Structure 1
Amino acid sequence: MGTKHQSVSNPFSDPKKRRRVGFSKIDAGVTPNECIKIYLVSTKEEVGSPDSFLIEPVDLNHFFEEDGKIYGYQGLTITIWLSSISFLAHVDISFDSTSDGGKGITDLKSSLQNIFAENLVEKKEDFLLTFSTECDFVKSIVSSAKVLQKNASNGCTGDSSHPNAEPADVEVLQVVGMPVGHLYSRLVPLVLLLVDGSNPIDVTDPRWEIYLLVRKDQEDSHYGLLGFAAVYRFHRYPDGKRLRLGQILVVPPYQRKGYGRHLLEALNNVAISENVYDLTIEEPVDSLQHVRTSIDVERLLAFDPIQHALNVVVSKLKHENLSKKSQPIRFGPPTSVIEDVRKTLKINKKQFLQCWEILIYLSLDPFDKYMENYRTIISDRVKADVIGKESEGAGKRIIDIPTEFDQEMSFAMFKSNGGEATSIEKDENQGNLEEQLRQLVDERMKEIKLVAQKISVTR
């Protein structure tokens, strides 16, 4: 009688009958920047067109998974259409197949909502309708805003090589109160996509203000948003105010056309007209700092109270040989000048000192002798910033003292009289430090020359 479980020979006893063990391919994932394209569109006809304006985001990785990748999709393509009229967005997602390769399947909807939140319009038909239903979104925001600055169509000066790059009727407006939250919630995706390392501001804090740069269409009275700045008002004891620029962004199609400069100039005017203590910028990127410094140097060139102090410094550089000086020489502005600049132009001390170096450069003739002296004062200043003012160790020597206590905690420090040189033990990384200092000086000299060249063209 046969049994239900028949005995079989060991399949591994016969090499021909051995089972083959297969390993599934591990999903390596795909980086978001590889499969996502974001287009900025101003009409419904541009939606779906490959000729629409392509935005290049700073980094999308941190919106997806812990390691910044998308998993579980083959042939994935994500196309995002972002309206420059309403700042609402629609997403088209296509892929060949999905499979769990060991790391799951990324929830794309959840990840995209980390960027766009409630600004995502699910159906394409509804998104297309927003170009008519939301065409006055910006206008509704600015209807009660305060106009700060106008620039009639004589060109928005920006790029020095194209001083009238794009004619425009533009206005800078100040938005405060409830409209700030409604507007900024629509602008958050642009901030996350285009401002590196930026976080949304707290719109519930009434001390935040939004400054808009808009262009009015003369034919249909529609407003187009060119850029914006978010400014925070700090209280300064006892009854003063300080302005800090927290975020500034020019919408991509209008970048490098002078509109960012237009916004900064308007903010300078606000600081002066309201007589705040000063205007600062929170961690400016290099491009913003370049524009800011160019504006401030131009303002300082026309500011008479600094001219005497500047002439004194320039005269020293022209008539002294600094390479033979044993100690660094101060070429900074007097305290009274720093205070005059802050009170009148609202330029803070740190920014003014940056501008001061450029003002000196502009006042020197490009002779090798002068430039050698100039580089010396820049080098001394950089060294003081990096390793302490005047090295803070010149003329000092540390001597160990025998003791019954902790040897590392027992020493005496002596300072020589009259500035006599003493031997200071050099760190084993001294060579590396000197090379790093040289690179920093080279970088600073490059920054100075770039601003000076731009100023020279416009003078």
Structure 2
Amino acid sequence: MKQKQLSTADPSAHADPKKRRRVGFATIDAGVEANDCFKIYLVSSKEEVGTSNGYCISPVDLNNFFDEDGKIYGYQGLKITVWISIMSFHAYADITFEGNSDGGKGITDLKPALQSIFGETLVETKDDLLQTFSTESHFISSVVSNGENLHYNAFNGDINCNSSLEATASNVEVVRVVVGNLAAGHLYSRLVPLVLLLVDGSNPIDVTDPSWELYLLIQKNVDSQNTQNLLLGFTAVYRFYHYPDSSRLRLSQILVLPPYQHKGYGSYLVEFLSNVAISEDVYDLTVEEPLDYFQHVRTCVDMKHLLAFDSVQEAVKSAVLQLERGKLSKKSHTPRFMPPPDIVDSVRKSLKINKKQFLQCWEILIYLGLDPVDKYMEDYLTIISNRVKADILGKDSETAGKQVVQVPSVHDEEASFVMFRSGNAVVTGVQMDKDQTKTQEEQVQQLVDDRIKEIKLIAKKVSQQHA
């Protein structure tokens, strides 16, 4: 990590001493957003270090690493450039500024902040980083040699039929390593800075816990002299014990390195892990707090399996026939069109898709089954709206169906009450005014609109793949 100050001339040094100096009040330092003075590059060769020729990671939210307001204080013209090697994942930071002074908020100590992001991967000098390209050129290969090569098919050999793929599946493989293994733990420790920067809301996993597994997406580049293993991405999965003799897989983190994103590798990893769960006959595969984009990819993968599952298709046909019989929107009680319990269990056993995820896919399967869809769209919207409302009421369980009754007391009467849940789930102690009711209706409608857009998008994509 290098820090240098650009020289500046003091304009007052040659001022006429006879002239009276003007007295003013210094402005309070407003600080600079960390995001505005950082550039981070991923580099694959020595020649890219110190230049802007690497892959610039953008956007990255760095504000969380600098005080409470995410700002850096005390510097003028501050620029911080970081280069990260994708061969060894070491990092070097170059810091330049025109000047620094305490403008009322102190001077931010940059070194601890950089250490909090890059940890032990941060080297002191540019030469230190350059040296790693030769001393650690086989770092990924050494980790892979300690892992287990897996050979489950993904997308029938096609990584993503909708992506412009630059590398074929023939030179891409997935290697499983147990995090309790020293080499695997070492690799993950070096990946932590990228996880913190690129995976929203993530925290590092425990590299001493052997229940953690890394699934490494590796590209093998073979030339006349040697084989170079390149890490394209990875997913961290926790293996739980499930009574009596099975296990459950929970996907906790997934990251495709920025230079290789939007090429289908994320879908490849999700599909591959799904096939691992099926082949190893685990109880199910779940995901820890999936983000919207990942949920979209996951649902596309699961839909591919469900569209080929005969018993599911028969259940969908039955539900679609029921929907097509009449105007559900005009009925006092609209059925939720839930899949039969035996189908839910069969999907979990055969495809390792848990109930919550299957219900998300079920709505899309019904949409795909409507022909023509426009004719039955009003009833379909009613089904989705009812489901969204039911989900909201379920989440609002702290107040739904509860009553508050005041009871006589010799103490503070305002603080004396009992609360109980009404058996018929009717709330008598809380009334919403018209504005609150309107706001709630608008929020529900927005959720319904967003869900319909998502359903249509996924239905269009899987229809193209299924054709």
Superposition TM-score, scaled by structure 2 size: 0.85
Output the amino acid matched with 2:365. Answer: L
How far apart in 1 are the matches of 2:46 and 2:418?
Answer: 74
**How far off its partner does 1:425 sit?**
8.7
1:349-396 superposed Cα distances (whole Å, 9 cap, x missing partner)? 00000000011111112443311111111111111111249x9x99x9
1:389-400 aligned within 5 A? none
**How far off its partner does 1:454 sit?**
0.6
Residue 33 of structure 1 corresponds to 35
Residue 459 of structure 2 corresponds to 452
1:2-21 aligned within 5 A? none
The alignment status of 1:222 with 2:228, answered yes or no, reads yes
Q: State the identity %.
A: 60
Residue 427 of structure 1 corresponds to 432
1:395-439 superposed Cα distances (whole Å, 9 cap, x missing partner)? x999x99997889769997979xxxxxx99962111111111110
SS across alignment from 2:150: strand
Residue 184 of structure 2 corresponds to 180
How far apart in 2 are the matches of 1:410 and 1:243?
Answer: 40
SS across alignment from 1:246: strand
Output the amino acid matched with 1:333. Answer: P
Residue 10 of structure 2 corresponds to none
How far apart in 2 are the matches of 1:106 and 1:280?
Answer: 42
Larger Rg: 1
How far apart in 2 are the matches of 1:413 and 1:257?
Answer: 53
SS across alignment from 2:80: strand
How far apart in 1 are the matches of 2:456 and 2:122?
Answer: 45
Residue 364 of structure 1 corresponds to 370
How far apart in 2 are the matches of 1:99 and 1:241?
Answer: 58
**How far off its partner does 1:121 sit?**
1.4
1:264-413 aligned within 5 A? 264-388=270-394
Output the amino acid matched with 2:367. Answer: Y
Task: Quickly say closer, same or farther: Cα 1:414–1:251, change in 2 above 3 A.
Answer: closer
**How far off its partner does 1:244 sit?**
0.5
Contact 2:277-2:352 at 8 Å conserved across structures: yes
**How far off its partner does 1:281 sit?**
0.6
Which moves more between the two structures, 301-310 or 288-297? 301-310
Superposition TM-score, scaled by structure 1 size: 0.87
Residue 45 of structure 2 corresponds to 43
Residue 13 of structure 2 corresponds to none
Q: Which of 177, 201, 204 is 1:200 aligned to?
A: 204
Task: Quickly say closer, same or farther: Cα 1:166–1:217, change in 2 above 3 A.
Answer: closer
SS across alignment from 1:222: strand
Instruction: Supply the RMSD in Å over aligned alpha carbons.
Output: 3.2
**How far off its partner does 1:180 sit?**
2.0
Structure 2 residues without counterparts, runs of 5 or longer: 1-19
Which moves more between the two structures, 274-283 or 402-411? 402-411
How far apart in 2 are the matches of 1:307 and 1:76?
Answer: 60
How far apart in 2 are the matches of 1:92 and 1:457?
Answer: 48
Q: Which of 84, 87, 105 is 2:86 aligned to?
A: 84
Task: Quickly say closer, same or farther: Cα 1:365–1:166, change in 2 above 3 A.
Answer: farther
**How far off its partner does 1:199 sit?**
0.8
Structure 1 residues without counterparts, runs of 5 or longer: 1-17, 417-422
Output the amino acid matched with 2:449. Answer: D
Contact 2:405-2:418 at 8 Å conserved across structures: no
SS across alignment from 2:52: coil
Residue-pair matches, total = 435
Contact 1:156-1:258 at 8 Å conserved across structures: no
Output the amino acid matched with 2:89. Answer: F
Q: Which of 119, 141, 144 is 1:139 aligned to?
A: 141
